[in-house]
């Protein structure tokens, strides 16, 4: 018998299956975008025009704001913020499992982003389009910043929503916030000239695919005290 506030086994299994399917869908989008980049078709046609338009419409204020956004989700600041946040989460809730899953998802994302960049080996946009030419030395596809934002926001929504009886309105609001944050980070990478449209779309898809999987691992049982 299942008590109040405890997820039913069939509900937990359903959530895991849904997460697996959603992750597969995210990777499918990633592969489709990669194919378009390789063949110069589809969304790849927007890469150069969008980059040129953004470069032509830069303003000082927007550059400052979007630079701050991109710095927050960079390889230096974001890991520190997540580490502190996970420690506070564990300290306040005495729940180590969900903070550990969140930190693990971000760690997997970081390694995966580096591997994908090295395998695809797509050059960055020209230095002349970058607000700080030569500031980044890794390859362009996928966008690591966008991937990190998508992983973080997706994982948070899943960890805070699954098995907690959240309302439909909560899911819509939380998911909308995740999309807005990810889109803002993606926009910052495009606007500052470090990525193409296909880079950030692929990064968002891959990040979603990683983040949604936090609901798949089973929580270790605490064991039963001897009677």
Measured between alpha carbons, how far is 147 from 202 in angstroms, rounded to an integer? 8
Which has more confidence, 182 or 8?
182
pTM score > 0.85 for this model? yes
Chain segment 76-88, per-residue pLDDT in tens: 899 999 999 999 9
The label of the residue with tokens 């903070």 reads 99
pLDDT at 126 over 70: yes
Measured between alpha carbons, how far is 140 from 106 in angstroms, rounded to an integer? 19
CA 61 to each of CA 16, 58, 64, 147, 195: distance values in angstroms, whole numbers, following the listed order: 44, 9, 5, 25, 20
Q: Is 146 exposed, middle or buried (0-12, 13-18, 19+ CB in 10 A)?
A: buried
Measured between alpha carbons, how far is 145 from 151 in angstroms, rounded to an integer? 10
| 203 phi, psi to nearest 5 deg | -65, -40
pLDDT at 224 over 50: no
Provide the pLDDT confidence category of residue 225 given band limits of 50, 70 and 90.
very low
- Which pLDDT score, from 0 to 100, does residue 106 have? 95
Among 32-41, 73-82, 160-169, name the most confident range.
Answer: 32-41
**Residue 20, CA atoms < 13 Å, CB-side half-sphere:** 8
**Where is average pLDDT lowest: 9-18, 66-75, 132-141?**
9-18
Calculate the CA dihedral of residues 58, 199, 213, 106 and round it to 10 degrees: -60
Residue 223 region by backbone torsions, left for phi larger than 0, else alpha for psi between -120 and 50, else beta: left
Chain segment 206-217, per-residue pLDDT in tens: 999 999 998 887
Measured between alpha carbons, how far is 204 from 185 in angstroms, rounded to an integer? 10
Region 2-16: mean pLDDT is 56
Q: 101-114 burial by CB neighbour count: b if 16+ within 10 A, else e? A: bbbbbbeebbebbe
Concatenated DSSP letters of 168-209: HHHHHHHHHHHHHHHHHHHHHHHHTTS--HHHHHHHHHHHHH
Region 27-45: mean pLDDT is 96
Measured between alpha carbons, how far is 99 from 83 in angstroms, rounded to an integer? 9
Note whether 189 and 145 are within 8 A (CB). yes
Q: Give the SS3 label for residue 66.
A: helix
- Which pLDDT score, from 0 to 100, does residue 164 have? 66
């Amino acid at each position: 018998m299942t008590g109040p506030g405890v997820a039913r086994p069939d509900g937990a299994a359903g959530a895991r299956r849904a997460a697996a399917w959603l992750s597969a869908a995210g990777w499918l989008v990633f592969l489709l975008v990669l194919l378009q980049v390789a063949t110069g078709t589809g969304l790849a046609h927007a890469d150069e025009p969008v980059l040129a338009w953004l470069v032509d419409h830069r303003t000082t204020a927007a550059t400052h704001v979007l630079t701050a956004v991109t710095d927050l989700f960079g390889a230096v600041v974001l890991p520190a913020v997540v580490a502190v946040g996970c420690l506070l989460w564990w300290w306040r809730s005495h729940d180590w499992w969900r903070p550990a899953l969140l930190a693990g998802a971000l760690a997997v994302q970081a390694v995966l982003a580096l591997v994908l960049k090295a395998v695809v080996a797509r050059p960055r946009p020209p230095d002349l389009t970058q607000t700080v030419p030569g500031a980044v030395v890794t390859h362009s596809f996928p966008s690591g910043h966008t991937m990190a934002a998508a992983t973080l926001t997706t994982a948070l929504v899943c960890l805070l929503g699954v098995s907690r009886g959240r309302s439909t309105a909560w899911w819509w609001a939380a998911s909308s916030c995740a999309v807005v944050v990810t889109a803002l980070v993606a926009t910052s990478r495009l606007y500052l000239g470090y990525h193409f449209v296909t880079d950030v779309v692929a990064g968002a898809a891959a990040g979603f695919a990683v983040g949604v999987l936090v609901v798949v691992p089973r929580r270790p049982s605490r064991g039963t005290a001897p009677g």
